[in-house]
Amino acid sequence: MSPAVSWREEFEARRENVMVEDWITKDIEAGGIRLIRAIYCGPDGITRGKAFPPRYLNEVLAGGIGLTQAQASVTIFDQLPPESRYQPIGEIRICPDIDTYNVIPYARGEARLLSDLHTRQGHPWELCPRSLLKDFVALLQGRGIVIESSFENEFVLYKNVDHEWRPVHEMNCFSSAAMDASSEWVLPILEALEAQGVVVERYFPEAGRGQQEIPVRHRRGVAAADQQVVFRETVRGVAAARGLRASFMPKPDPNSAGNGCHIHFSLWDLEGKRNLLFDPSVDYELSGTGRMFAAGLLAHLPALLAITAPTTNSYRRFAERCWSSCYVCWGPDNREATVRVASSFRGREEASLNLEFRPADPTCNPYLALAAIICAGLDGVDGRRDLGEPTLTDPALLSPAERESRGLHCYPSDLSSALTALEHDDVLRRGLGEDRVRDYVTMKRAEVATVEAMGDGAEEKAYKFRF
């Protein structure tokens, strides 16, 4: 599964002659920009980076910003596992992508550039998640395929009441009363997203206390993962600017709905004219390619969860009858299935049909998550895997014997089990890179050990406002 190298060759051709475009210079001057953030999303899912004054922009675009290579191996607690291969000896570079430039609406005088991690010689570094996704997007392109996807986030807004952070409301799911209670905070979030080119498609209050959901327009290739980074940054930033806190923690309240991040995607031809998942002549309009791709996701599901549900808290969501899915299965518009065939809309059937991968949450690194989904799905296509029969009911309503006869197995019960599955999944290990997977597992096992040692309320301390 060797990825194409066209994007690398294009980068090399441009790298030595990078100059700031006129419109960016004018935008910096007109907006009074005094600081530009060069940020990246690490394998741990945390967005990090360094900032610089605009006068250094050309210099940074040409040579990047220095970073110890060990930084990509630290846990969410900023701890470097002693077993990590990447210790604080040796440098890499934070290399901003000029095409991602945006003024930050909620931080006056600041702008942002999303970045790759490169070697000192200017080549993509082996642990860079964004470069990995570029490789898989190029691999798809070599097969005549373009992926379009979006990350559908849920999050909770908290306000400070008597020095305690409490949800902004306790209203019903989708209720207009909940919209009223959240409007003064949600509207600024929507405006800030739109100002950065993120197209908001819907908004509604979700089932949890203070929980919100904002589906956004799909994007092509790497841009979808970039958009997810911008989305999380914006929600947190706007909330903080208004005296609130936002949490993307998967299960911040054991007695309330958890925060998912469903990944919707479709596969298109290079011209963007034909949805390769769509076949109006078959059941559920899901093509043979779509069935095989979905079968690959189910086949590699335990290992995929180590990347798409990457915290100890992630596994609190996977419970029966919680609409989060907890059995390995697929189904048309089945919100208790691992893979949901999202039904098309009348008049735009081909444009709207997509697959929804449900067992993901907003703590995942979106570049790693999308790369892993492509890797597993293509294995399904290459192996011509059989998707089997759909599950047309909530699996929890079936007896254990019925689930067993249909092969509907439970998800791994915890992150440690999912990490073990990833270690033993030859396809994902080879596809994502042996060293990358080894370092990721090492980092995540260290995170698990730290959480387990924290005692009462460990997960809330670890994750509530870190994501």
What pLDDT shows up at residue 17? Answer: 46
What pLDDT shows up at residue 27? Answer: 84
What pLDDT shows up at residue 322? Answer: 87
* Arithmetic mean of pLDDT, 449-459: 94
pLDDT confidence tier of residue 26, bands split at 50, 70 and 90: confident
What pLDDT shows up at residue 16? Answer: 47
Domain edges within the chain: 13-127, 136-463
Q: What is the pTM of this model?
A: 0.94
d(CA 196, CA 102): 6
What pLDDT shows up at residue 146? Answer: 98
Phi-psi region of 255 (alpha: psi -120 to 50; beta: other; left: phi over 0): alpha
Which region among 174-183, 263-272, 285-294, 349-358 has the lowest average model confidence (pLDDT)?
A: 174-183
Answer CATH for 136-463 from 3.40.50.300, 3.30.590.10, 3.30.565.10, 3.40.1030.10: 3.30.590.10
Mean pLDDT score of the chain: 93
Would you tell me how many other CB atoms lie within 10 Å of the CB of residue 452? 11
What is the tens place of the pLDDT at every residue in 133-143? 999 999 999 99
What is the tens place of the pLDDT at every residue in 34-55? 999 999 999 999 999 999 999 9
What is the tens place of the pLDDT at every residue in 339-389? 999 999 999 999 999 999 999 999 999 999 999 999 999 999 999 999 999
* Arithmetic mean of pLDDT, 310-324: 93
What pLDDT shows up at residue 20? Answer: 60
Residue 5 pLDDT exceeds 70: no
What is the tens place of the pLDDT at every residue in 160-182? 999 999 999 998 988 999 999 89
CA Rg, the chain, in Å? 22
Q: Which residues contact 360 (CB under 8 A, 6 or more apart)?
A: 151, 260, 261, 262, 263, 308, 309, 369
What is the tens place of the pLDDT at every residue in 53-88? 999 999 999 999 999 999 999 999 999 999 999 989
At the topology level, CATH places domain 13-127 in: Ubiquitin-like (UB roll) (3.10.20)
For residues 114 and 226, is the Cβ–Cβ distance under 8 A? yes
d(CA 208, CA 172): 8
What pLDDT shows up at residue 21? Answer: 64
* Arithmetic mean of pLDDT, 301-329: 95
pLDDT confidence tier of residue 29, bands split at 50, 70 and 90: confident
Residue 19 pLDDT exceeds 80: no
Q: What is the share, in percent, of the chain residues with pLDDT greater than 90?
A: 88
